[in-house]
Amino acid sequence: MPTQPTRREWLAVSALGLGSCAQAPKPEEFSIVEAAETLGGQKAIVLKRAVAPSGDVPLLLEAEILPGRGFNTWQLRAYLPGKGVTDLITAPPLSGAVKLMTGGENDFRGNESFKNGGALLVPYANRIRGKFDSKARTIETAIAGKTAKLPANWIGKLKGAEPHAMHGLLLDQPTTISRRVADANGATLEANWEKPFGTEWPGTAKVQFSAALTAKAFVLKVTVVNTGKEPLPVGIGWHPYFNIASGDRKQAKLKIPAKTRALVDNYDNVFPTGVTEATEGSKFDFREARAMGDQFLDDCFMDLIRDGKGGVAAEIHDPAAHYALKISSASPAVQAYQCYAPPEKPFIVLEPQFNIGDPYNKGVWKDRDTGMVMLAPDHEVVYDATVEISKI
């Protein structure tokens, strides 16, 4: 298991990566406003930057957060030269989100939260398999040596597809807003969730969320604290659908600094086989940015190449729209990027996450470290993802 730094050490590393955000106040003012729409019993919150967009430099302008739906980052907006104010994330307007997130069949356990927008995946990212109980609609499996019954909230479309658990337990959970701060430097929204997992996951946790919009970046952080008396297994991820603003998916470029990828049974179940292969020289080699063309991806990229400060950064380039996004993390616990990119859709889902798929399947992974962090009582782990925009 990766060794976790102390909170002070992690914050020091994070500060190095975003030091420019802590300089003297900028002339642009930021604000935090409540939207008209209510989702999960809470108003959507919008972080705003008050600046007249013009010129040839792209600027981040807004972030829509859903505190009532697991602190989902529903939308990021930016000014793009030649295109004006543009949605950076594929998602319907908030009024459309209200119609989707009803708790009905399609929204079982919050599934609509990860079909659009940018869901946070806690306490596990990706897929987990187990013994299916059709009556209870659960799977039973072993998590860190303890029996858990997870919601069977996903299944492939092909005949013989296997019901499984997908993307954590907080997708439809309301959070409690704890802090709102807006000044000349940026706007920050903080919230928390504290509730026993019951039979669905071993242990008890407090989850703290933070979303910050600054002149330089959008920064998302999740801190999980073990409030129980036994070790707590934790995996965290983020699931943003990044829009290709030009609409031209073929020319969009992807960069993922990964040496290997996990092979899967097929692109319907997308269950890992336990076999990995080197990306070098293959069509999955995205260590340098290259055009996507017609290539389909639903792959977990591993053995990440870190920078001199220990961080990792992936990129999406849209040359036709003259901008690029960098999606980075300073957290040493981020071990993988999952990428979902169907060629017929104008988006790329790029997910920095702790764990790889089906992390507790010993029959598949044997004794491999699958990225799950074991937190001792009263200890914490921090996840972060930073989005920056630039001109190309």
pTM of the model: 0.92
Helices then strands (H, E): number in the chain? 3, 28
3-class secondary structure, 263? strand
CA distances from 370 to 231, 247, 272, 335 (A): 17, 35, 11, 8
CA distance 264 to 127: 12
| 220 is a domain residue | yes
Closest alpha carbon to 97 in 122, 65, 49: 65
3-class secondary structure, 297? strand
The secondary structure of residue 26, as a DSSP letter, is: P
pLDDT at 27: 55
Per DSSP, the residues of 158-180 read STT---BEES-S-TT---EEEEE
- Show the DSSP H helices in the chain as ranges: 7-17, 94-100, 362-365
**Dihedral pair phi/psi, residue 105, rounded to 5°:** -55, -45
Please give the biggest Cα pair distance in the chain: 59
| 2 is a domain residue | no
CA distance 289 to 316: 8
Residue numbers of the domain that contains 377: 7-20+29-388
CA distance 341 to 320: 18
Residues facing residue 128 across a β-bridge: 165
The answer to whether residues 345 and 242 touch, using CB atoms and an 8 Å cutoff, is no
pLDDT at 302: 98
| 93 is a domain residue | yes
pLDDT in tens, the chain (392 residues): 444 554 444 444 444 444 444 444 455 799 999 999 999 999 999 999 998 778 899 999 999 999 999 999 999 999 999 999 999 999 999 999 999 999 999 999 999 999 999 999 999 999 999 999 999 999 999 999 999 999 999 999 999 999 999 999 999 999 999 999 999 999 999 999 998 898 999 999 999 999 999 999 999 999 999 999 999 999 999 999 999 999 999 999 999 999 999 999 999 999 999 999 999 999 999 999 999 999 999 999 999 999 999 999 999 999 999 999 999 999 999 999 999 999 999 999 999 999 999 999 999 999 999 999 999 999 999 999 999 999 99
CA distance 172 to 35: 19
The total of structural domains in the chain comes to 1
CA distance 242 to 85: 15
The answer to whether residues 209 and 281 touch, using CB atoms and an 8 Å cutoff, is no
The answer to whether residues 386 and 335 touch, using CB atoms and an 8 Å cutoff, is no
CATH number at residue 73: 2.70.98.10
| 1 is a domain residue | no
| 182 is a domain residue | yes
CA distance 330 to 17: 8
| 178 is a domain residue | yes
pLDDT at 196: 84
- In Å, how far from its chain's centre is CA 354? 10
Phi-psi region of 281 (alpha: psi -120 to 50; beta: other; left: phi over 0): left
3-class secondary structure, 199? helix
| 274 is a domain residue | yes
CA distance 305 to 280: 13
pLDDT at 198: 87
Angle CA 248–249–251, to nearest 5: 80
